[in-house]
Amino acid sequence: MKKPGCFITLEGVEGVGKTTNMAFVCDTLTEHLQASGRNLVRTREPGGTPLAEEIRTLLLAPRDEVVADLSELLLMFAARAQHLESQIRPALAAGDWVVCDRFTDATYAYQGGGRGLPIEHIQVLEKLVQGSLQPDLTIYLDLPWDLAAKRIADRERDRLESESHQFFTAVRQAYLDRAKSHPRFVVISAAEALPEVQHNIGRCLQDFLRSRSEL
């Protein structure tokens, strides 16, 4: 019988090393999945399909017009609806594993914690767009904003990256609060050198595979 698909997300404030560690997570899992003839889909939010990537461009572009918090929230979920429909759900239905750089926890952290939008509004949209679908595992890379900001100091900032210290501190706190109340979260400190961070991510993946009787 075909084994069910699996949905893994990576979260954290900008600069924690999500992009850097996505490759490590995907390589580690691909090695395991190939042995049993299954595929891994690597994707990201906002984005992951041509339409959702266009919405991402709209969302991240610096602009003179002030973007209303509610517009930002709705655009995040518009992109997510497309991503789920044309990419994530079909892959999971086929028994594939999906690894996604950010998902709805980012909405709770950025639009909830950062922007201060009511959690109940996010919950309504989450239910509408996702139904009961939730990640099976969320790896949250944790780093105080001061340190994360240093890692992206020489980069040109997009609209969201240009937010204040206070904004990102609230985003981080919202992630940490969610991690406490959602057992699918594994919090990994991103403050250590990369080999140590990846050693800890590797251990987390081994534990997860064992918990699903995959090892």
Span interacting with ligand T5A, options 30-38, 98-106, 118-126, 172-180, rule CB under 6 A: 98-106
For the packed helices 69-83 and 119-130, what is the interaxial angle rounded to 10 degrees?
Answer: 20
Residue 160 sits in the site that holds ligand T5A (CB under 6 A): yes
Binds ligand T5A (CB under 6 A): choice among 7, 97, 110, 208: 110
DSSP 40: E
Q: Name residue, tokens 């904003």.
A: 145
CB of 19 to ligand T5A, least distance (A): 3
- Distance CA(135)–CA(68), nearest Å, equals 28
Amino acid at 40: L
Binds ligand T5A (CB under 6 A): choice among 9, 82, 107, 138: 107
- Distance CA(46)–CA(66), nearest Å, equals 19
- Which phi and psi (to 5°) does residue 197 adopt? -60, -45
The count of chain residues that interact with ligand T5A, using the rule CB under 6 A, is: 25
Residue 15 sits in the site that holds ligand T5A (CB under 6 A): yes
Residue 142 sits in the site that holds ligand T5A (CB under 6 A): no
Residue 106 sits in the site that holds ligand T5A (CB under 6 A): yes
Q: List b or e across 108-124, with b for residues whose CB sees 16 or more CB atoms inside 10 angstroms.
A: bbbbbbbbebeeeebee
CB of 123 to ligand T5A, least distance (A): 14
**For binding to ligand T5A (CB under 6 A), which residues are involved?**
12, 14-20, 45-46, 76, 101-102, 106-107, 110-111, 151-152, 160-161, 190, 193-194, 197
